[in-house]
A and B are shown apart, each in its own frame.
Chain A
Amino acid sequence: MKTITVYGPGCMKCQKTEEIVRQAVEAAGIQATVVKVSDAQKMIGAGIMSTPAVAVDGVVKATGRVPQPDEMHRWILE
């Protein structure tokens, strides 16, 4: 089962990112855990310096921006 991690302290963009992630998971119809990380220590541990950021199964896909739904869809299915 895939784990998708959304990094962000809770500002609007980070919430939007989480929404996009959840919608993409639903649309793809696969099983996935969506994890929200707002702890800065964990972020820097993953090498992330700008939020919002998204990682799929530990691989960072995007930092510092809200991903497009079609990108998210692609990353989930990779």
Chain B
Amino acid sequence: MEPMTTQATMPEVDSERKSCCAGGQGADRLALGGRALKSGSGRYLAAVAGGLVGWWLLYRELAPLATWMTHTLLPLTPGTHLAPTIEFFVFEVPKVLMLLLLVVFGVGIIRSFFTPERTRRILAGQRESVGTVLAGLLGIVTPFCSCSAVPLFLGFVTAGIPLGVSLTFLISAPMVNEVALVLLYGMLGWKVAAIYMTTGLAIAMVSGWTIGRLRMEKHVEEWVYQAQTGESGPEKRLDWGERVRYGLDAVREIVGKVWLYVVLGIAVGAGIHGYIPENFLAGIMGRSAWWSVPLLVLIGVPMYSNAAGMIPVVEALLAKGAALGTVLAFMMAVISISTPEAIILRKVLKPRLIAVFMGVVTVGILIVGYLFNLLPLQEIVTKGHVLP
């Protein structure tokens, strides 16, 4: 390898955004040595089991704990604005963090089974129809880092995976984020999480398929097709001790970076919960305001936030009467496409394709927003709430 000067060819991306290159993934190449690990597999699993039990016991006590802290420990009158705000905050912070811990750990373990290399192998040689569906699904479980978007895209293209299929993956991976899904589940109920996942996948698959139909291969930078790919060697199978270690690595990395966003997001959500009148937002974001969907989607597109920080704001907005479709659309727009991502993709896609890519996804999100504003789904959301 000839020496190269260290150069950042890509802008500094906020790595918190999409579990960027989170620890515990890339299982193939691992030489964990594992003198202690292999022999300690059993111990690791026992420790995990113990941890799960402890987690469950604590989790059950969070709501009563929050109520007690707000109304007994601190002298706050129930009728004021401050009381529900504090209670919301004191309940939601440990609850969300605990959910995060659990989920990131679990997903870390799942990801030790799926790697970009394996995804590439699975997708190569598939018919476009099958490949599109698989790519959407694999996007959920394959570790994806925005800074790896380029090598990953290269890897897909050089394996002969069609453009549309690769793009489906690039849409689904950041959007249908397992952190987002489980937090949606924890805070709003399984129906909202299921809706988010299904519509996110649908957008990814339809967008990718549409772009595939548009035959825009000419708008991929030429050097991508000329890239030579090497083989990084045989895969390594991991034992359970190593998998557990990946899960723990993932927790340390992701939760370690994301927790502050979560706390801030909950603080904002708590403020909305306590201080904004019940139906204030219904006027702006409720079903009757047709322009709320495009407005929020257009605001959200260039922005990005990690999923964890978005969720509490989403919940508070919904609790205050904002329409489900509008809020989901806003969340999707923020999490999926963004200006930094466009900049990164510029390396492999020509401007027109980037524009089409973003445009198609935006249209998809808009449709989802309107669709769910039309359906009587408001009942689904309120059931997930725990606080009065």
| Closest-CB distance, B2 to chain A (whole angstroms) | 8
- Whether A51 touches B232, Cβ cut-off 8 Å, given contacts A9-B8, A11-B20, is no
Q: B1-34 toward A: CB 8 Å interface, digit per residue (1/0)? A: 1011111111011010000111111101111110
Q: For A36, list chain B residues within 8 Å (CB).
A: 4-6
CB-nearest residue of chain A to B26: A64
Query: Which A residues between 1 and 51 are near B, CB-CB below 8 angstroms?
Result: 3, 5, 8-14, 18, 33, 35-51
User: Are A47 and B21 neighbours in the complex by a CB distance under 8 Å?
Assistant: no
User: Are B116 and A64 neighbours in the complex by a CB distance under 8 Å?
Assistant: yes
Q: For B233, list chain A residues within 8 Å (CB).
A: 47, 59-60
Query: Which B residues between 129 and 159 are near A, CB-CB below 8 angstroms?
Result: 143, 145-148, 150-152, 154-155, 158
Q: Give Cα A44 to B106, complex, Å.
A: 29
Place the interface of chain B in its size category: 35 or more
Q: Give Cα A58 to B7, complex, Å.
A: 21
Query: Which B residues between 169 and 192 are near A, CB-CB below 8 angstroms?
Result: none
Main SS at interface, chain A: mixed
Which single member of A39, A48, A64, A75 contacts B25 (CB below 8 Å)?
A64
User: Are A10 and B158 neighbours in the complex by a CB distance under 8 Å?
Assistant: no
- Whether A11 touches B23, Cβ cut-off 8 Å, given contacts A50-B151, A62-B31, is no
| Closest-CB distance, A9 to chain B (whole angstroms) | 4
User: Are A12 and B4 neighbours in the complex by a CB distance under 8 Å?
Assistant: no
- Whether a CB of chain A sits under 8 angstroms from the CB of B228 is yes
- Whether a CB of chain A sits under 8 angstroms from the CB of B115 is yes
- Whether A51 touches B227, Cβ cut-off 8 Å, given contacts A9-B10, A13-B15, A63-B28, is no
Which single member of B20, B28, B115, B152 contacts A13 (CB below 8 Å)?
B20
Q: Give Cα A45 to B224, complex, Å.
A: 12
| Closest-CB distance, A38 to chain B (whole angstroms) | 5
Which single member of B9, B13, B22 contacts A39 (CB below 8 Å)?
B9
Query: Which A residues between 40 and 78 are near B, CB-CB below 8 angstroms?
Result: 40-53, 58-66, 71, 74-75
Most B CB within 10 A of own CB, among A10, A58, A65: A65
CB-nearest residue of chain A to B6: A36
Q: For A40, list chain B residues within 8 Å (CB).
A: 150-151, 154, 227, 347-348
Which single member of A5, A12, A39, A46 contacts B230 (CB below 8 Å)?
A46
- Whether A48 touches B232, Cβ cut-off 8 Å, given contacts A13-B147, A36-B4, is yes
- Whether a CB of chain A sits under 8 angstroms from the CB of B341 is no
User: Are A50 and B116 neighbours in the complex by a CB distance under 8 Å?
Assistant: yes
Q: Give Cα A3 to B2, complex, Å.
A: 10
Q: For A42, list chain B residues within 8 Å (CB).
A: 1, 4
User: Are A10 and B230 neighbours in the complex by a CB distance under 8 Å?
Assistant: no
Which single member of B1, B12, B23, B223 contacts A12 (CB below 8 Å)?
B12
Q: For A74, list chain B residues within 8 Å (CB).
A: 31, 33
10 cross-chain pairs, A with B, having the tightest CB-CB distances, nearest first: A64-B26, A10-B8, A47-B232, A49-B155, A11-B147, A63-B26, A9-B10, A47-B230, A49-B116, A36-B6
Report 28 cross-chain contacts, Cβ distance below 8 Å, ordered by A residue.
A8-B147, A9-B8, A9-B9, A9-B10, A10-B7, A10-B10, A11-B146, A14-B147, A18-B6, A36-B4, A38-B10, A41-B227, A42-B4, A44-B151, A44-B229, A47-B117, A47-B231, A49-B152, A49-B154, A50-B21, A50-B148, A62-B31, A63-B26, A65-B25, A71-B32, A74-B31, A74-B33, A75-B31
